[in-house]
């Protein structure tokens, strides 16, 4: 795990939809300001459940979550939003019956009138395409535009931590590139980004660090470049042949326990 | 005859619309069919009756200022005062029922059908409470004789009906502004579509649910008092209005306030126009037939919000 000071530090998180059937088993993650941590793994590994539990929309049954040193483990989703956590779910991530402008206003629900106006201007400056469609209903947007709107909505509260659940899902390669370029810019502005991603190559390309979940537990962890070059990761997740065979449950590229 | 039926349809539809909005809020935001909503109209209507009886009665609270009719209407300033009391009591009852019953069931993860059955039980409790306190007879707010206004057609309308229709239009305009232009209204709309996404955006779902009960019960009290002004209050008025309220909400499209209003007008117009050709005893059948037709041909309703 990185030695940078973590904004988010989650230790031994156990989460799922039923207490007696957890999906995430004692996962520890940390992400620093300006850093992108990408969480990879096969289907059913618990990636989305982990990020949803960090956003407060899936219950945690164990572990501790610290945000800037403050314990936010039991904090509900609506309070996490005001504490500086933005979340973009994979599905149903915009209000389809509301306009682009209304979606953004909902994103800034807790802001004062003056701050709301300023953040709206910033959102339209950051995503000019949305500015051209501010009166369009969410259901009338393309997949890429919806993803941009979802991210813009999550940024309205100027979060310190942005949680993204598969932002490239269902997008064309061109839109994936655009979305990821924006995600990198967001991180470069000082926001910590924790991103679940199925698109391993694209995810690792923009990330600083990566973590691979297998059946709800951490299997690999390390900096993004070393994960890209790791022969086992390449074989299992990037579709390349590896020269060596390593036990997937014990390997950690940066030497940290996995 | 036809012109009179159309005007009567609009006038009675306005009262149904106020109740139907509460039903559509319940279906879309609270996410269950609240069968006690009709009896909340009765609670509002009877609280107003109680206040009017106090100001017109022989006791200490007697006030000729409040009980003397203001021409050309059949009632005095007591009705606005009674309306205010009715709204406060209806809100208190709604919040109490939520805290005692629905909130506890939600916390236990009860499915919507459990909430529906709970609302059935509460409807019976409210109805029988009204029956116990006020008896089985129908009551009028006023026995004053009004001179009907003659409109082109010729159509006869009572001043009370014109006032109720006008106030309903103002209330609908205020409600539209509240839902479209205020943050709390937008919170209600967003929770109706996606509660999880709303909570991620910082909206407290529990507060929004309370706000929904407040708005719905205020509108129910208003509808109940207007029903008392233009018709009369009866213990079973909530039960009798339940089918038109639900049909209006479903006909208009669940979650659509304008749909609920239009649905209510369509039902009332159909009821009044059809009563020209069928015996009036069959009038309650009209919303039932409309409900079956809409569920068969367009289950999402005529004006359901797009994208849901």
- Mean predicted lDDT score pLDDT of chain A: 88
Residues 6+ away with beta carbon under 8 Å from B30: B102, B115, B209, B212, B213
Do the Cβ atoms of B205 and A78 come within 8 Å?
yes
A181-200 burial: b if 16+ Cβ within 10 Å, else e: ebbbebbeeebbbbbbbbbb
Q: What is the average per-residue pLDDT within A51-73?
A: 96
Q: Looking at residue B282, what is its pLDDT?
A: 87
Residues of A in contact with B211 (CB under 8 A): none
CA distance, residue B190 to nearest chain A CA (Å): 7
Residues of B in contact with A52 (CB under 8 A): none
Q: Please, are residues A10 and A28 in contact by the beta-carbon 8 Å criterion?
A: yes
A76-105 burial: b if 16+ Cβ within 10 Å, else e: ebbebbebbbbbbbbeebbbbbbbbbbbbb
Q: Is A89 on the interface with B (CB under 8 A)?
A: yes
Split at pLDDT 50, 70, 90, the class of A236 is low
Indicate the domain borders of chain B: 2-239
Q: Looking at residue A5, what is its pLDDT?
A: 87
Task: Return the structure tokens found at A48.
Answer: 């989305």
Whether the pLDDT of residue A94 is over 70: the answer is yes
Do the Cβ atoms of B197 and A92 come within 8 Å?
yes
Whether the pLDDT of residue B268 is over 80: the answer is yes
Task: Return the structure tokens found at B48.
Answer: 């107003």
Calpha distance B240→B237 (Å, rounded):
5
Q: With 0-12 CB in 10 A as exposed, 13-18 as middle and 19+ as buried, what is B271?
A: buried
Identify the CATH number of the domain defined by range A8-237: 3.40.50.300
Calpha distance A154→A151 (Å, rounded):
5
Q: Which residue has the tokens 């159909």?
A: B270
Q: Looking at residue B153, what is its pLDDT?
A: 77
Residues of A in contact with B186 (CB under 8 A): 98, 102, 105-106, 109
Q: Is A129 on the interface with B (CB under 8 A)?
A: no
Do the Cβ atoms of A106 and B190 come within 8 Å?
yes
B147-198: per-residue pLDDT in tens?
A: 888 888 789 999 999 999 999 999 999 999 999 999 999 999 999 999 999 9
Radius of gyration of chain A (CA): 18
Q: What is the average per-residue pLDDT within B274-302?
A: 90
CA distance, residue B260 to nearest chain A CA (Å): 17
CA distance, residue B192 to nearest chain A CA (Å): 10
Whether the pLDDT of residue B12 is over 70: the answer is yes
Calpha distance B207→B289 (Å, rounded):
37
Q: Looking at residue A231, what is its pLDDT?
A: 81
Do the Cβ atoms of A97 and B200 come within 8 Å?
no
Nearest chain A residue to B305 by CA distance is A97
Do the Cβ atoms of B201 and A81 come within 8 Å?
yes
CA distance, residue A107 to nearest chain B CA (Å): 5
Split at pLDDT 50, 70, 90, the class of A256 is very low
Q: Looking at residue A237, what is its pLDDT?
A: 65
């Amino acid at each position: 795990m990185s030695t940078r000071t973590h904004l988010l530090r989650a230790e031994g998180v156990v989460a799922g939809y039923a207490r007696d059937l957890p999906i995430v088993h004692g996962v520890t993650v940390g992400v620093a300001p300006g850093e992108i941590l990408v969480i990879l793994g096969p289907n059913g590994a618990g990636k989305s459940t982990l990020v949803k539990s960090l956003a407060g929309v899936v219950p945690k049954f164990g572990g501790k979550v610290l945000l800037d040193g403050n314990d936010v483990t039991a904090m509900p989703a609506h309070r996490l939003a005001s504490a500086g956590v933005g979340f973009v779910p994979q599905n149903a991530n915009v209000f389809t019956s509301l306009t682009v402008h209304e979606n953004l206003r909902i994103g800034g629900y807790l802001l004062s009138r003056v701050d709301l106006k300023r953040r709206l201007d910033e959102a339209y400056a950051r995503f000019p395409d949305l500015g051209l469609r501010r009166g369009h209903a969410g259901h009338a947007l393309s997949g890429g535009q919806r993803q941009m709107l979802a991210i813009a909505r999550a940024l309205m509260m100027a979060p310190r931590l942005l949680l993204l659940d598969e932002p490239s899902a269902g997008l064309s390669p061109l839109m994936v590139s655009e979305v990821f370029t924006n995600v990198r810019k967001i991180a470069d502005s000082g926001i910590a980004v924790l991103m679940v991603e199925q698109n391993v190559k694209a995810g690792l390309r923009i990330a600083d660090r990566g973590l691979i979940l297998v059946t709800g537990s951490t299997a690999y962890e390390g900096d993004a470049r070393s994960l890209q070059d790791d022969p086992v990761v390449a074989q299992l997740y990037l579709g390349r042949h590896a020269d060596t065979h390593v036990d997937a449950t014990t390997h950690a590229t940066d030497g940290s326990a996995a | 005859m036809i012109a009179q039926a159309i005007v009567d349809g609009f006038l009675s539809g306005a009262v149904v619309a106020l109740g139907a909005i509460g039903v559509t809020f319940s279906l879309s935001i609270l996410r269950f069919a609240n069968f006690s909503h009709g009896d909340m109209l009765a609670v509002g209507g009877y609280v107003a009756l109680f206040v009017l009886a106090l100001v017109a009665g022989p006791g200490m609270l007697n006030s000729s200022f409040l009980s003397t009719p203001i021409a050309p209407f059949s009632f005095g300033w007591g009705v606005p005062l009674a309306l205010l009391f009715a709204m406060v009591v209806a809100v208190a009852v709604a919040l109490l029922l939520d805290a005692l019953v629905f909130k506890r069931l939600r916390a236990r993860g009860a499915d919507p059908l459990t909430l529906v059955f709970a609302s059935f039980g509460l409807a019976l409790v409210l109805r029988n409470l009204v029956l116990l306190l006020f008896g089985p007879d129908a009551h009028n707010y006023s026995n004053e004789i009004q001179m009907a206004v003659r409109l082109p057609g010729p159509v006869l309308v009572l001043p009370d009906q014109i006032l109720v229709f006008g106030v309903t239009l103002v209330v609908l305009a205020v409600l539209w502004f509240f839902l479209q232009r205020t943050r709390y209204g937008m919170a209600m709309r967003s929770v109706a579509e996606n509660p999880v996404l709303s909570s991620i955006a910082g909206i407290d779902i529990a507060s929004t649910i309370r706000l929904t009960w407040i708005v719905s019960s205020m509108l129910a009290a208003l509808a109940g008092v207007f029903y008392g002004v233009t018709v009369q209050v009866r213990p079973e008025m909530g039960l009798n209005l339940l089918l038109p309220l639900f049909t209006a909400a479903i006909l208009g499209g669940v979650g659509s306030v304008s749909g609920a209003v239009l649905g209510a007008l369509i039902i009332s117009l159909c009821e009044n126009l059809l009563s020209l050709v069928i015996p009036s005893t069959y009038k309650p059948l009209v919303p039932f037939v409309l409900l079956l037709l809409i569920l068969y041909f367009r289950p999402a309703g005529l004006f359901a919000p797009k994208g849901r």
